[in-house]
Amino acid sequence: MGSWGFVLLAYGIVWLALVLYFLSLKNRMRKAGTKLSQLRSAGSPGKHEK
Amino acid sequence: MAFLKQTAWLLWKDLLLELRRRESLLAMFFFGTLLLFIFHFALDVQPDKAADMAPGLLWLALVFCGTLGLMQLFQAERENRCLEALLLSPIDRAAIFLSKVLFNLTLMVLLEIVVFPLFWVLFNLTLWERLPWVFLYGLLGTVGFCVLGTLFSALTLSARGREILLPLLLLPLMIPVILATIRGMEIILRAGDFQESLPWLHLLIGFDVIFLTAGILVFEWVVES
Amino acid sequence: MAKAEKKRGSGEILGVLALLFILVGLYVALIQAPPDAYQGEVQRIMYIHIPSIVAAYLCFFIVFLGSCLYLWKRETRDDILAKSAAEVGVLFTALTIIEGSIWGKPTWGVWWTWDARLTLTALLLMIFVGYIMLRSLIEDEERGAVCGAVVGIIGFLDIPLIHMSVYWWRTLHQPPSIFRPDKLPWENIKWPLLWPLIINIVAFVFLSLYLLSLRIRVGETEERIKGEMLGGTA
């Protein structure tokens, strides 16, 4: 492996990991958001009844 | 004055309990001896190399035994919710912490008094006159270990999988103590020169002072919630 | 609600800034900067290696700050800050080790060597992985937050001591070789090599803050879900 190979390997791993982490955060955000809105729509009528 | 008195009372309570149950000390002592045998089988330590390997093996055995002791440290308080009772009593939180550190330290020092000479005998070391200096390093290292160990033992009380979590959290933070103790002992055993090992001694003292202070300051938060 | 929107807006600005600097940084690091006289092209790894460790230390400093603030004021917000920063910090620390290892292979001939900085970084990773494990193993929210804060503070205080001991261990016991483990001293770095480094450091700082802001938003939403669930059952 030439020296450019090592450079590309390092940059590849780093940016892949960072992008994956970014996507996983977006995913968690979306999942949490839908769950929250579900809870709110399910929970708010109950609250009004009280 | 009241603070010291409280610490002494709590320490006396723990020592009395240990004297009656003899759980921790005996287990630690046999585990330590066992480790020395295992190390010998694993590494086949030759007499001429024993002095070089002594610090690492000794200190590793002590750290493992100490971790074993740390698991038991708050056992008595955990059973029957004694910790809550202790916290309700008008005792300074720092006194509870200090008494536990001192209790742990007493156990470890008793262990060292037996294990250090035993190591010298088992591995045919001849440098008996250097044993006191090695012991000094062992003592300072043990203080650091007990201070941080007691804090983390209390910290992980309510965690799941506490037995594995405690060493996992503690050992990386103990690296300065482990390195300083082993390297300091090594310099003394190899060269017999106390001056040369002084930087490590200072590092150990620094570690002990910093974390004893930090421990006393934060222990209150660790137990109250 | 308006406050949340404002927060989100500042997060987006961070994201845009990060993206801008990353693109410029990639260009200058891979294309514009000249190869190093001694190390050749491999030196280009330094343009992400040093920024990663800067970002990691920044995150761990934020963990320390968040921990102190939480113990002082007991606000969940500070705990979420510390917890999120630990996660982002672990990511950047792990990346730093991987880059160091890849840089080490052509430079030192081995993937791993027990040099002071590499070892120190690995220990840092272990401490903060321990922090995250502790957080996940304590079920009681408040107790977990307090214990986490204590570990965050103790861990941060320990870093200089670990640094000192590991550094002495490597220097007192073997003479420094030609491939000195420490990077070139600042005065030895020439300007054409230095300014791409600065741009990349800025890029990674923005990136880590942006990721942190995203992670905090995840944490806040999860907190709100817990609130809703408690409100729903009560």
- DSSP secondary structure of C156-177: HHHHHHHHHHHHHHHHHHS---
C86 touches B at CB < 8 Å = no
Residue B139 has which token pair?
A: 């003592």
With a pLDDT cut of 70, the percent of chain C lying above it is 86
Interface predicted TM-score of the whole assembly (ipTM), two decimals = 0.85
Rounded to the nearest integer, the mean pLDDT of chain B is 87
Range of the structural domain that residue B141 is part of: 2-224
Q: What is the pLDDT of residue B158?
A: 82
Residue of C76, C90, C131, C134 to mutate for B, most B C-beta atoms under 10 A: C134
Confidence band (pLDDT; 50, 70, 90) for C54?
very high
Q: Which chain B residues touch C127 with a CB distance below 8 Å?
A: 169, 172-173
For the segment C9-20, the average pLDDT, to the nearest whole number, is: 86
Q: What is the pLDDT of residue C112?
A: 86
Q: Which chain B residues touch C131 with a CB distance below 8 Å?
A: 169
Nearest chain C residue (CA) to A48: C232
Candidates B168, B199, B222; nearest CB to C133: B168
Q: Do chains A and B have 3 or more beta-carbon pairs under 8 angstroms? A: no
Q: What is the pLDDT of residue C89?
A: 95
Q: How far apart are the C-alpha atoms of A25 and A7, rounded to whole Å?
A: 27
Question: Tens digits of per-residue pLDDT, B128-154?
Answer: 778 888 889 999 999 999 999 999 998
Domain residue spans of chain C: 11-33+46-221
> How many domains does the structure of chain B reveal?
1
Q: What is the pLDDT of residue A18?
A: 93
Q: What is the pLDDT of residue C233?
A: 53
Rounded to the nearest integer, the mean pLDDT of chain C is 84
Report whether pLDDT(C31) > 60: yes
For the segment B116-123, the average pLDDT, to the nearest whole number, is: 86
Q: What is the pLDDT of residue A43?
A: 66
Q: What is the pLDDT of residue C218?
A: 92
Residue of A18, A19, A27, A36 to mutate for C, most C C-beta atoms under 10 A: A18
To the nearest whole angstrom, how far is the Cα of A19 from the nearest Cα of chain C?
10
Q: What is the pLDDT of residue C98?
A: 92
* Residue pair B171/C129 in contact by the 8 Å Cβ criterion: no
Report whether pLDDT(C178) > 50: no
With a pLDDT cut of 90, the percent of chain B lying above it is 32
Q: What is the pLDDT of residue C150?
A: 93
